[in-house]
Amino acid sequence: MTSTRTTVAGNGRAATLSDVAREAGVSLATASRAINGSTNRSVRADLRERVLGAAARLNYSPNANAQAMARGKTATLGLIVHDIADPFFSTIAAGVTEAADTAGLAVTLANTQHDAEREVGFIQTLQNLRARSIIVVGGRQDDDEANQRLREALAAYQERGGAAAMVGQPILGVKAVHVDNRGASAALARALHGQGYRRFAVLGGPERHLTAAERRGGFCAALAELGAPVAAEAIIPSPFVRDGGHEAMVELMRRELDVEVVFAVNDVMALGAMTAAREAGLVLPRDMAFAGFDDIFALRDVTPTLTTVRIDMVEIGRQATALALGDGEAPDLVTVTGEVVLRESTPAR
């Protein structure tokens, strides 16, 4: 009376592999083999058909959790970003999802909202999920304690067989894709100097933000070498986001320094800064030149077009995924070089 219904999936209860096997008149093992003919496809054609047919009829959906248990591994990739709404991160996420997809992995997204503490928490969650690998995206802070906690969390994760990679400074004991921020910023500085600029200001991001520091450092060092050092008071710290750029520009203008060109350590900050300048009545680029870093897609539609350092964020996402999956003998560190792109915002003078 209870086991007569065999062809209907039933209300709520999903068909199991046993159901499929019974429906097909084969054993559980055969059904299992037929459905994912893993390495060795050792099931007779007609049986395979029967099983596949039964599975289709019952609308069978393999339980990934059960498979994870039996196989001892999952097909999940964890992706941790600071802010998925920020174009820098969402573009990298696009690269990661693309690569993960072709590798047959599901991406679990964790958004820390710029809270470093939550990174550790998410690593724990992904550890619980037994994610096959984890990619942590975003510049590190110069905060030994926070970094240490993160390092330990990742170490524990890797010790248990997980593979991790990051986009940012290679200081966490995991493989990393790192942008040559210093070199690219120095190149940008030289290019601007070559355009005739001599009086610079830098919207430098957070004091302890390593990516910001690298960009500031490379930029200022190059200018110092060229004999056009950036005055200390012309380096304005602020958050690494759009509003941070805006704030910093307001502060810079308040200081009434004699500046020709402003370098914001990332594009969204540069855009916020340009808006601040306009709000103050400046005409761009006539009254002030601007340069950013990243070359986010949105730059295609701003005016004047923004000079920046181009990095291929989609590709960075792909590379990070490759590292995290250990494709071949993946190197420990992939260094990405940026390309200086001079545009209307920094006309020759």
Question: Would you tell me which residues interact with DNA (CB under 7 A)?
Answer: 13-14, 16-18, 26-30, 32-33, 35-36, 38, 40, 42-44, 47, 60-63, 66-67, 69-72
Asked if residue 344 lies in contact with residue 303, where contact means CB atoms within 8 angstroms, the answer is yes
Q: Choose among 179, 194, 116, 127: nearest CA to 149.
A: 116
Indicate the DSSP class of residue 307. Answer: B
- 52 in contact with a copy of itself (CB under 8 A): no
Q: Which option in a copy of itself, DNA, none does residue 257 bind, with CB closer than 5 to 8 A by kind?
A: none
Which residues ranging from 165 to 194 are in contact with a copy of itself (CB under 8 A)?
A: none
- 274 in contact with a copy of itself (CB under 8 A): yes
Which residues ranging from 300 to 319 are in contact with a copy of itself (CB under 8 A)?
A: 300-303, 314
CB within 8 A of 77, min separation 6: which ones? 96, 100, 103, 105, 106, 107, 108, 131, 132, 133, 134, 135, 321, 324, 325
Q: Kindly state the number of chain residues that form the binding site for a copy of itself, as judged by CB under 8 A.
A: 59
CB-side neighbour CA atoms (13 Å) of 236: 27
Pairing verdict, β 76-81 and 200-205: unpaired
Q: Near a copy of itself by CB under 8 A, which window of 44-52, 84-92, 189-197, 201-209?
A: 84-92
- 275 in contact with a copy of itself (CB under 8 A): yes
Burial of 213 (0-12, 13-18, 19+ CB in 10 A): buried
- 111 in contact with a copy of itself (CB under 8 A): yes
How near is the Cβ of 97 to a copy of itself at its closest, in Å? Answer: 4
What number of other Cβ atoms are within 10 A of residue 28's Cβ?
13
The contact pattern for a copy of itself, residues 120-139, with x = CB under 8 A and - = no contact, is ----xxxxxxx---------
Cα separation values, 336 from 45, 142, 281, 316, 333, Å? 49, 21, 38, 8, 10
Chain positions contacting a copy of itself, by CB under 8 A: 9, 11-14, 59, 61-66, 68-69, 74, 76, 79, 83-85, 87, 90-91, 93-94, 97-98, 101, 106-111, 113, 124-130, 156, 159-161, 242, 271-272, 274-275, 278, 297-298, 300-303, 314
